[in-house]
Chains A and B, each alone.
Chain A
Amino acid sequence: MSFPILDVVVLLPLGAALAIALLPRQAPMALPKWLGLGSGVVELGFVLWTVVAFKTGNNHAGFQFTSREPWFGPLGISWYLGVDGISLFLVAVTALLFPIAMATRPSPEGALPRSYLGWMLVLESACMASFLSLDAFLFFIAFEVTLVPGYFVILGGLGERRAYAATKFFLYTFAGSAFLFVGILATYLLVAARLPAGSPASFDIITLARGAMHLPLADQELLLVAFGVAFAVKMPLVPFHTWMPDAYTQAPTGGSMVLSGILFKLGAYGILRWGIFLFPRAAVDLAPLALTLGAVGVVWGSVVAAMQRDLKRLVAYGTVAGVGFIVVGLFGFTVQGITGGVVEMVNHGLSIGGLFLLVGMVWERRRTHELDQLGGLQTVAPVLGWVFMAVLLSAVGLPGLNGFIGELLVLLGTFITHRWWAVVATSGALLGAIYLLWAYQRVFHGPAKAVNAGIRDMTWGERAAIAPLLAGIVFIGVYPQPLLSRIQPAVDHLVAHIEYADPSLKIPSSGQGHGTFAVPANQVVDVPAGTTSSAAAGRGGRP
């Protein structure tokens, strides 16, 4: 593959944003809109092409479509992009959600403001770069740069306290990133000190992973904690979540969609790619802590969500629960658990992104999120009601929709190694059903109050916006195989890497749970250079 498709994926939205910024004032009002949406759709095309061309099978567990250029030469930094099964579908969800989010107007009247489109495109570019980066420096830059467009997107909303929310968002994440900053630099320097003479120090993930797993365990743990704090703030994991309900509720609809659907995935993805992968032994040691935070998040998020009187806040707190669930899956260290975690990240993008979109539609009709003010919408807007129900059931985890696959894998995978945390997390699935269905009942059922009686149903434009999300929800629920077959080799490789780093860790699942989607245990997995020999040897050598 000579065409640098990933570079295009990262840079295309940025170019479109620049074009929008530089358009003359006299340009037709519709031009920025079509430029923004058009580039979003072209971007989606490129990403779909990547997904289709992505090679599956156990010989392709490593990074594909890699592209590497030296950047800050003296510092060992390079522009290094690549995609594997873990990041592939996160990129796909990003490309899917952004055009939809860009099409939603931040204020009900008037055209799409240029600044909003521009910042959204910058945000898309930064998210793509974060998911695709294989260089710690590049990752940090992209991760950090998301703050600026995120800040302005929240500021572009209509919430009364949006400046407060935007600033809180910026400062919390900025402070969290301070730890990541120090952590990345420390990892780089500690690894560089242990490299054999002559080999250049580098920020690329392979070099770092190869060196970091041999650092003293105490160092590894401190570094993982430093990384973990930054990612926990971004996710946000309880107790680092307090910025989140404000940010999500004050942002415009499209902003909430990408903040909850994409941005928080950066944290979960970060902990997997840059936390667990770099410091597998420390991750195993600290798993009880992470699992506890995750399980607490599930229960606490659900309970608080159930008590909200504001529909948007309710969905926002639901995100806390969803994050907890993903963390529980990731720190189970089984193939099923991690695969489930990755699938949950994708699902969450679809279903929570969809929920925020629908909440935005409700708001456009009624100008309120108060549950007391809503009610009986089902009779006057049946299509909206049914679509809402479908997306909501996907979030709840109804079999046949996407949520089920992820939840099942997470619970199954973590139950094998960390039983009681999985048990607590299971209650979250139940609580999720309670607060979501209760909310649905309060919004859509009952007699329509006078003000609610006159609202119109979904327009065709709105149906077109939600349709791709619904399609994804149903497709993954009915036929997850294309998804799993691409995710699973990479996860398999990651688990082998963890087992190699910590031989004392016995992961029973890799012996038992192979029925549907795991490789035979004795098959040597092809992993990228660097970790290849070690991880594969560790795996092959196991009885």
Chain B
Amino acid sequence: MTIFAGTAGPGCTISNLVTSEAKVSGLCTAKGSLSIPVEYRSIAPVLILGVAALVLLVLSATLPKRRYPGLWAGLTALAGIATTVDGIVQWANLDNPANTALTVGGQVLYDHFSAFFAILFGCATTLGAAISDSYLSREALDGPEPYVLMLACSAGAVLMAEAAGLITLFLGLEVLSISLYTMTAYHRRRAASGEAGLKYFILGSFSSAVFIYGAALVYGATGSTQYFEIFQFLTGTVVVHDGVLLAGMALLVAGLGFKVAAVPFHFWAPDVYQGAPTPFVGYMAAVAKAAGFAGLLRALMLALPTQVSSWRPAIWVLAVASVLVGSVMALVQADLKRLLAYSSISQAGYVLIGLQAGTQAGWSAASFYLFTYLFMVVGTFAVVGLTQGRGEVRNDLGSIRGLGQRNPWLAGGMLVLLLAQAGVPLTSGFLGKWLVISAVIGKGQYELALIGMVGAAIAAFAYLRVALLMYVPAAPTPARPGQPRGEGGGEPAVAPTGPGAPSGLAEVAGDLEALATAGLGATATAVALRAPSTARLRVPRATAAAIAVCVAFTVFAGVSTPVLSLAHSIGLTWSL
């Protein structure tokens, strides 16, 4: 408790920030004593996920191995659903403003933002478990461990969103990160997986160190690590020599920027996305990003709103760099997972655009964006996981070729998810961009709005290319009889090199291929054109359900109000 007593400083006077007087006085009586009043209600999502992880471990030790296929995934999904339900209950409970509070010794914020992210991480866990099961059994990797890690990771993520101070944020960050390092390296028989895990671990630990150094500097400058106390100090004090504070803020942003893969802290992302087991990548892309942004949003908007003029330009640069670098680099990728990695970098840029607006609108836009991106990215990686084949033999663009024939429903779902990421209307991706851009236009930053939209147009080409490849015939189809054959020398630059791809294919699909591979290097082109098998692709039931949920949600959130209203009412709780 000494930490709290020592750092609390003017802790009791934060009452002007907290709507409930009673809660604050309760906290103050606890100060200095060893008994911290724990509001279990507020940390229930963390508890559910953490306890579920332990239950899984215990069960795995007692139950015979491989007796109940799907048990681990089922339990994990159940825990995810329980977390989601609990988040909804919390949300309903918080509709009474008196319930909003700083709990557990001032370390946890119990508000709409926390509940919203609890729902988000609950959904991510459920979907992640649903898409992992078939992958793990296909790769002969099944066991309880990845699910334990997934649950722990989600618990850490929820904790990051709930944190009321940099220390709790760091705790959550570490729980999340360490689980993710292990999940990345989980594919024992794939060298790329181990390599990616190691790379992620080294760079991730480094970024954690950067983060904690930043937290220390902020503590040095302001005398606290608690958001509201930092805010209190900075509103009441003019920091004349703010070098330490600025350095601390910069390091905080860098540390969390690494987690969300914002340019220039993005170098790990393509390698890790490429190497890690595919369903985990979908889960990781959603959760790590959302958790990192939840922490960043909280830290910048609750603790450092007074320094907005200092951090806004920095976030501006990160946002523009992420959007442009992500979009442009996505164009030249021949590997589907790398392409999606750059796409996720670009998507992080849009959240940053919302964040840098520094307003209520930007705050809820970023939350909405993260929530809807979860469904897009998990669904997309689920499809990639299906097309890559056993042992992840094919992750190149060509692996998705002909999906429209192999499984029209799957291709249709993938099309919706790709269009959503491109930001086409009637999908949630469009609405997310709309909200984000609307937030910055509200600040009069037209140039940023235009950069963002131009970035979206660039990225659209990358998504279209994938969509196009899905509808290039995978099978050597006979040229249509009406087709003028062999006239005008329409030989494509690179002939298909795949087994059993006769020259007839080149004539029908030559242009499609030429476009689908435009800008790729010669080797990459040859790889991308290797047609996969033409057998009908079978989709395991749980994965199919998860993809269906993702697609349905992407459309639902794009054409209806509920999710939007939810995001819209976040953040009204704390008077900023």
Contact = CB atoms under 8 A, between A and B. Distances in A.
B450 A170 contact: no
A74 B564 contact: yes
A182 B464 contact: no
B481 A73 contact: no
Contacts of A147: 424
B486 to A, nearest CB: 12
Given A167-B461, A175-B457, A181 B565 contact: no
A75 B365 CA distance: 12
B424 A148 contact: yes
Interface string A172-189: 001100110110011011
A395 to B, nearest CB: 29
Nearest to B412: A21
B125 interface: no
B328 interface: no
Considering residues B422, B438, B450, B471, which has the most beta carbons from chain A within 10 angstroms of its beta carbon? B438
B424 A181 contact: no
A189 B481 contact: no
Contacts of A148: 419, 424
Interface stretch (A57-65, A138-146, A274-282, A530-538): A138-146
A539 interface: no
A73 B425 contact: no
B552 interface: no
Given A171-B457, A174-B457, A189-B438, A182 B450 contact: yes
Interface string A146-172: 011001000100101111100100110
Contacts of A186: 441, 446, 449
Contacts of A481: none
B468 interface: yes
Interface in A315-368: 367
B457 A185 contact: no
A109 B449 contact: no
Given A71-B561, A174-B460, A182-B446, A164 B511 contact: yes
A503 interface: no
Nearest to A146: B425
A422 B105 CA distance: 78
A427 interface: no
B568 interface: yes
B424 A144 contact: yes
B461 A171 contact: yes
A522 interface: no
A107 interface: yes
Contacts, number: 98
A161 B488 CA distance: 13
B482 A107 contact: yes
A107 B508 CA distance: 13
Contacts of A144: 424-425, 430
Nearest to B422: A174
Contacts of B481: 109
A522 B98 CA distance: 62
Considering residues B425, B438, B483, which has the most beta carbons from chain A within 10 angstroms of its beta carbon? B425
B442 A72 contact: no
Interface in B389-447: 419, 422, 424-426, 430-431, 434, 437-438, 441-442, 446
A425 to B, nearest CB: 32
Contacts of A175: 454, 457
B453 A178 contact: yes
A160 B509 CA distance: 9
Given A71-B561, A72-B564, A148-B419, A107 B480 contact: yes
A144 B565 CA distance: 24
B456 A178 contact: yes
Interface string B535-562: 0000000000000000000000000010
Interface string A97-121: 0000000000111000000000000
Contacts of A142: 425
Interface stretch (B153-161, B232-240, B345-353, B512-520): B512-520
B490 interface: yes
Contact of B514 (A109, A145, A164, A189): A164
Contacts of B516: 163
Interface in A180-212: 181-182, 185-186, 188-189
Given A170-B464, A185-B434, A367-B482, 19 more contacts: A73-B565, A107-B480, A141-B426, A141-B430, A144-B424, A145-B425, A145-B426, A151-B464, A155-B468, A155-B471, A158-B482, A160-B488, A163-B515, A171-B461, A178-B454, A181-B434, A182-B437, A185-B449, A186-B441
Interface of A: 71-75, 107-109, 140-142, 144-145, 147-148, 151, 155, 158, 160-164, 167, 170-171, 174-175, 178-179, 181-182, 185-186, 188-189, 367
10 contacts: A72-B431, A141-B430, A148-B424, A151-B464, A160-B488, A161-B511, A170-B464, A171-B464, A185-B437, A185-B438
